[in-house]
Amino acid sequence: MLARNIYTEEHLLFAQSVREFIAKNITPFNMQWEKDKMVSRESWLQFGESGFLCMQVDEAYGGLGIKDFRYNAILIEELGKAGLGGPAVGYPLHSDIVCPYIEHYGTEEVKQKWLPKMVSGEAIAAIAMTEPGAGSDLQGMRTSAVDKGDHYVINGSKTFITNGYLSDVCVVAAKTNPALGAKGISLFVLETGMKGYTKGKPFEKAGLHAQDTCELFFENVIVPKENLLGKEGEGFKYLMTELSQERLVVGLGAIAQAECALEVTIKYTKEREAFGKPISQLQNTRFKLAEMATETSVGRVYADRCLELHLDKKLDQAGASACKYYLTDLQCKVADECVQQHGGYGYMWEYQVARSWADARVQRIYAGTNEIMKELIARSILK
């Protein structure tokens, strides 16, 4: 349940409308999207038409101008509670992770061109940081952007890009001055269709089957100067600034998906019989459910506290890292135990817990591995 000390009656009404929209327009189609390896473009347009994409964007760019992040959090949570791995990742990444870079650092020309389309769902957005040889080590990226006077030329590649295959616009991190390390990283807006900008086929992933993830390739891509986000060489600083919200987004999705897996499992144990009675009456089952209920309740309180800090602009890098690592670890632990409680059926793809288990595993890897999260936390307490 949504915590009433954080959400007002207006928020709860919004949550209900989101829940109804998901039940009607997303859940019935998710199995097909898993086969297609991507959410349909029609769904993106429906999402936009309903006002659920990039809600924070100013009205001047076609948005609703809702600066209260609790509405964004509700959308993330409701997607997670519906057990929708692919959509639960793709939509929030577009709205809450990619959009802020364009909002906060884009030129007026770039904002006018892309924000209205991102709000409407006409344009799907991605962000490209990870490279084949540089995952969580952003300073080790090799994609280059060379200043040619009136434009940049970008060469390199990115991998594991969420929304990559369907994306129309992508925020790309590249080295403008390799000798400067982190201070040599800049961010650019690249558009699908630019000469030399190509995409690989969607990956065959262990989970998140409805989420299009692929490689991106840049071969002498000419990028106009106005497509530079902010200032040259400031990209790493921008990434560090915006990554706190990204990690909160992942954490909020993680606790919601853990709650979903537990809810499904409680229902299953009441219906499934063994030794002449529902397995919910067996002591081991009852103890395991009690443990998971307690742990998810603790996780929910922690998630809500991190959200409160973010609303007050007090969620720092260490706090966001703790939120991301703790809640995704918890999600994986709960999902694994829920599979165990289902027995052999828990390993069947038609059962929700099988998909929840497969979808959960990558949460500890992207947005910075949980090992990197612990390093960031350690730096803050040992400085």
Are residues 87 and 133 both part of a single domain?
no
* Final residue in a domain of this structure, among 198, 232, 266: 232
Inside any domain, residue 321: yes
CATH number for the domain that contains residue 354: 1.20.140.10
pLDDT for 118-155, tens place per residue?
Answer: 999 999 999 999 999 776 777 779 999 999 999 999 99
The rounded mean pLDDT for the chain is: 95
* Final residue in a domain of this structure, among 92, 123, 154: 123
Q: What is the pLDDT of residue 138?
A: 74
Mean pLDDT of 157-183: 95
pTM, to two decimals: 0.94
What is the rounded distance in angstroms from the CA atom of residue 200 to the CA atom of residue 191? Answer: 15
pLDDT at 1 over 50: no
Which stretches within the chain are classed as H helix? 9-25, 30-36, 41-49, 69-81, 85-92, 99-105, 108-120, 235-271, 283-311, 317-342, 352-360, 370-382
Are residues 212 and 262 both part of a single domain?
no
Going by C-alpha positions, the residue among 18, 11, 10 that lies closest to residue 47 is 18
Inside any domain, residue 4: no
pLDDT for 38-70, tens place per residue?
Answer: 999 999 999 999 999 999 999 999 999 999 999
CATH number for the domain that contains residue 213: 2.40.110.10
pLDDT at 85 over 70: yes
Strands 228-229, 185-191: pairing kind: antiparallel
Are residues 146 and 164 both part of a single domain?
yes
What is the rounded distance in angstroms from the CA atom of residue 314 to the CA atom of residue 102? Answer: 22
Are residues 375 and 285 both part of a single domain?
yes
Catalytic (active-site) positions: 246
* Final residue in a domain of this structure, among 123, 155, 171: 123
Q: What is the pLDDT of residue 184?
A: 95
Are residues 215 and 240 both part of a single domain?
no
Q: What percent of the chain has pLDDT over 70?
A: 98
Are residues 219 and 260 both part of a single domain?
no
CATH number for the domain that contains residue 114: 1.10.540.10
Give 293 or 182, the one with higher predicted confidence. Answer: 293
Q: What is the pLDDT of residue 4?
A: 57
Residue range of the domain that includes 112: 9-123
Inside any domain, residue 3: no
The number of folded domains in the chain is: 3
- Cβ atoms 189, 114 nearer than 8 A: yes
Q: What is the pLDDT of residue 181?
A: 87
